[in-house]
């Protein structure tokens, strides 16, 4: 009789535990991503940081930047980074830095680049759960740099304005990978000219 009680008790305990597990509400062990009204991923209160790489072209005034002695005109490249905070499901404020550079001369032992660097305060607004717009203003520096020595000849300092748009191919509360377009303008009173650059690239963002 005692031997028969053991399997009966074991069966009862197993059934009780099974019934308790089934009684847990859906999503008890794995909560779905937090979303706000409209389907926007809720990253409110989180820090954001990211980088992006792009390719495109530069111009000074109405003239496209060209390499004076290259067989083909090289493309301009851009690298950008930001850090800031998400203030609502659709709005983030950040510090943005961006560098655009393009080859303007090839020498025997050196390559000369026209480089525009900018530091800005930028705002990013999600118009849909994956589509965002960005705008920023700040300071810019225009210079020539040499590849062999990293020597820099500053041409002028001025103001900068940034306009951008992106679409998140991968989007969750902690990570977003997007396709983005950027257009940045630097205005320089010392040389009485504006330098602009447009690029298309890929960005990765952490929250």
Number of domains composing the chain: 1
Considering the domain boundaries, does residue 44 fall inside one? yes
Q: What's the pLDDT tens digit per position in 133-146?
A: 999 999 999 999 88
* CATH number of the domain enclosing 53: 2.40.160.20
Half-sphere exposure of 150 (CA within 13 A, CB side): 0
Dist. CA 178–CA 82, nearest whole Å: 14
Distance CA 80, CA 53 (A): 7
Is 4 part of a structural domain of the chain?
no
Distance CA 89, CA 125 (A): 9
Domain extent, residue 196, equals 37-206
Calpha distance 117→144 (Å, rounded): 11
pTM score: 0.79
- Residues 55/77, Cβ–Cβ less than 8 Å: yes
Residue 178 forms part of a structural domain:
yes
**Count of Cβ atoms closer than 10 Å to residue 116 Cβ:** 28
Residue 73: inside a domain, yes or no?
yes
Q: Please report whether residue 80 resides in a domain.
A: yes
Report whether pLDDT(7) > 50: no
Instruction: Examine residue 154 and state whether it is found in any structural domain, yes or no.
Output: yes
In a domain, 30, yes or no: no
In tens, the pLDDT along 74-89 reads 999 999 999 999 999 9
Both tokens assigned to 180 = 């983005």
- Distant-in-sequence, close-in-space partners of 203: CB < 8 Å, separation ≥ 6: 50, 51, 52, 53, 80, 166, 177, 178, 180
- Asked if the structure places residue 41 within a domain, the reply is yes
């Amino acid at each position: 009789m005692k031997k028969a009680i053991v399997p009966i008790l074991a069966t009862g305990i197993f059934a009780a535990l099974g019934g308790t597990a089934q009684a847990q509400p859906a999503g008890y062990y794995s909560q779905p991503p937090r979303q706000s009204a409209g389907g926007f991923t809720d990253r409110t209160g989180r820090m954001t940081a990211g980088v992006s790489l792009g390719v495109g072209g530069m111009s000074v005034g109405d003239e496209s930047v060209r390499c004076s002695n290259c067989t083909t005109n090289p493309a301009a490249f851009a690298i950008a980074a930001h850090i800031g905070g998400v203030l609502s499901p659709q709005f983030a404020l950040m510090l943005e830095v961006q560098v655009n550079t393009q080859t303007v001369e090839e020498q025997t032992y050196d390559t000369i680049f026209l480089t525009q660097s900018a530091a800005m305060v930028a705002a990013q607004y999600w118009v849909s759960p994956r589509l965002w717009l960005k705008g920023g203003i700040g300071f810019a520096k225009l210079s020539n740099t040499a590849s062999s020595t990293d020597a820099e000849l500053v041409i002028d300092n001025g103001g900068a304005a940034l306009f951008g748009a992106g679409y998140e191919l991968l989007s969750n509360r902690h990570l977003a990978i997007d396709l983005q377009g950027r257009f940045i303008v630097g205005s320089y009173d010392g040389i009485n000219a504006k330098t602009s650059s447009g690029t298309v690239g890929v960005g990765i963002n952490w929250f």
